[in-house]
Amino acid sequence: MKRILIIALAASAVLATALSCTCGQNKLTKKEKAEGWQLLFDGKTLNGWRDYNGDALTGPWTVEKGAIMAEGKGEDASGYIVTDKEFKNFDLCWEWKISRGGNSGMLYHVVENPKFPVPYITGPEYQLIDDENYAEVNDYELEPWQRCAVDYAMYVPDFETRKLNPAGEWNTSRIVFDNGHVTYYLNGEVTVEFDAWSDDWLQRKNSGKWAEHPEYGLSRTGHICLQDHGFPAWFRNIKIKELPDKPVEKDLFNGKDLTGWVLYGTDPWYADTDGNLVCESGPDNEYGYLATTDYYDDFDLSLEFKQEANGNSGVFIRSFVQMPGQRVNGWQVEVAPKNHDTAGVYESYGRGWLYQIPDEKENILKEGDWNTMRILLQGDHLQTWLNGEPMTDLHDDKIGAGHGRIALQIHDGGGIKVRWRNLHIKTL
């Protein structure tokens, strides 16, 4: 009788635990709510999620038994869903399981733009995959950088100490992104830890799979994204807590060399003996760009410029590099000869001029001398000043949704030379 009672009590305990776990699925405790956690999945609907680069959710996703299910109908070019909301610094936790031989992923800082056909060329990926059976099912042996809990094609864990439950069983994963310091966890243990945008990170990015994708991983803000890669996968208890942002204030040009910048095109850019940044038309007389390696979304930027030999140039904001061709796309604060809208705003693809300078303000530009420019950008609100005078005050939804670099331009046509100095930025 005693043995039967013990067994009955044990069974009751297991049942109680199971019921407790079931009742706790896709819910936050009072403590979690107080700490700022929020659910990304309500356990019943796909509210808050939609297709990548889309306005609605069209599949192949559904809700099954309190979990988001990837139906396994996606492929490399499709099958991605993203959160409506964007996140910058965060602590993201979720539970997941994968089908036998399956492949999926959790991406973050994903940028939407029709010129980016798939999210993984913009946002890093925490790889979710069935290491044990993948080769047998797919007739392909995984590389280390493709295995589970890696930072895909960038950083790999110690696979000897990694704790991965087999296909069909639930795993718990976590990503902590804290102002560029990144930690991945699998079932309570750290798998990888690295610093985004560090010299080591940039070397890995520029020498591996992402060498032909210049915008990969640069955005500091973006959507959370789930991947259907042709195999069923399940996700539940997806919750996130936003972490504080640390503003940055620094000079973008060190007065010596092009550290922190990337050249696109054939035009020469260099530091002169006076510590100025100089751009000149090259032999091809085509567009040329000098872009920051970092993204800057909300900022207060001040700089000085002096136009020589025509001076048709500009400052791109929230811009990105389109491959092939190395053409910079985005919004340009104009730098041009007098009567050509210096400090106005031009969109390099699509709409053209968003704001042109009134004729009575054209004399504010000082030809052949140093000019000061200030660019203040917060959300969808863009303001510019030239030599202390207000020039542009513009609200624009598309600018508000943009992410990207700061880039200096030299126009095509030849015969252009511009000097720059005192490029100082403060992020907001």
Sign for the pseudo-dihedral over CA of 117, 122, 123, 125:
positive
Q: Please count the residues of the chain.
A: 428
CATH superfamily of 30-242: Exo-inulinase; domain 1 (2.60.120.560)
pLDDT digits (tens, 9 = 90+) for 338-360: 999 999 999 988 899 999 999 99
Q: Which segments of 208-282 does DSSP mark as H helices, in order?
A: none
Least confident of 3-12, 44-53, 276-285: 3-12
What's the pLDDT band for 86 if we cut at 50, 70, 90? very high
pTM above 0.85, yes or no: yes
Q: How far apart are CA 154 and CA 75, in angstroms?
A: 22
Residue 279 identity = C
What is the 8-class DSSP label of residue 132?
A: H
Domain-wise residue ranges, the chain: 30-242, 249-427
Is residue 223's pLDDT more than 50?
yes
Q: How far apart are CA 249 and CA 246, in angstroms?
A: 10
Is residue 21's pLDDT more than 60?
no
Tokens of 49: 């999620």
Peptide bond into 324 cis (omega under 30): yes
pLDDT digits (tens, 9 = 90+) for 264-306: 998 999 999 999 999 999 888 888 999 999 999 999 999 999 9
Cross-strand bridge partners of residue 222: 87
Residue that is written with structure tokens 């035009």 in the block: 267
User: What's residue 3's pLDDT?
Assistant: 42
Average pLDDT score over the chain: 93
Residue 82 identity = V
Least confident of 96-105, 372-381, 409-418: 409-418
User: What's residue 283's pLDDT?
Assistant: 87
Cross-strand bridge partners of residue 103: 129
Is residue 19's pLDDT more than 80?
no
Q: How far apart are CA 342 and CA 295, in angstroms?
A: 24
Tokens of 241: 């807590």
pLDDT digits (tens, 9 = 90+) for 225-251: 999 999 999 999 999 999 999 999 999
First to last CA, the chain: 70
Is residue 23's pLDDT more than 80?
no
Is residue 20's pLDDT more than 50?
no
Cross-strand bridge partners of residue 306: 419
Percentage of the chain exceeding pLDDT 90: 87
What is the 8-class DSSP label of residue 78?
A: B
Is residue 272 within 8 A of residue 394, CB to CB? The reply is: no
User: What's residue 2's pLDDT?
Assistant: 38
The residue with greater pLDDT, 299 or 21, is 299
Is residue 82 within 8 A of residue 112, CB to CB? The reply is: yes
Is residue 403's pLDDT more than 90?
yes
Cross-strand bridge partners of residue 355: 345
Q: How far apart are CA 425 and CA 428, in angstroms?
A: 10
Comparing C-alpha atoms, which of 135, 181, 129, 133 is closest to residue 150? Answer: 129
Domain 249-427 part of CATH 2.60.120.560? yes
Tokens of 399: 């600018």
pLDDT digits (tens, 9 = 90+) for 139-160: 999 999 999 999 999 999 999 9
pLDDT digits (tens, 9 = 90+) for 179-206: 999 999 999 999 999 999 999 999 999 9
Is residue 78's pLDDT more than 60?
yes
Type and span of the H or E element at 408? strand 405-410
Type and span of the H or E element at 9? helix 2-23
Fold identical between 30-242 and 249-427?
Answer: yes
Comparing C-alpha atoms, which of 147, 154, 254 is closest to residue 196? Answer: 154
Peptide bond into 60 cis (omega under 30): yes
Is residue 372's pLDDT more than 60?
yes
Tokens of 306: 């002096």
When pLDDT is averaged across residues 323-327 and rounded to a whole number, the result is: 78
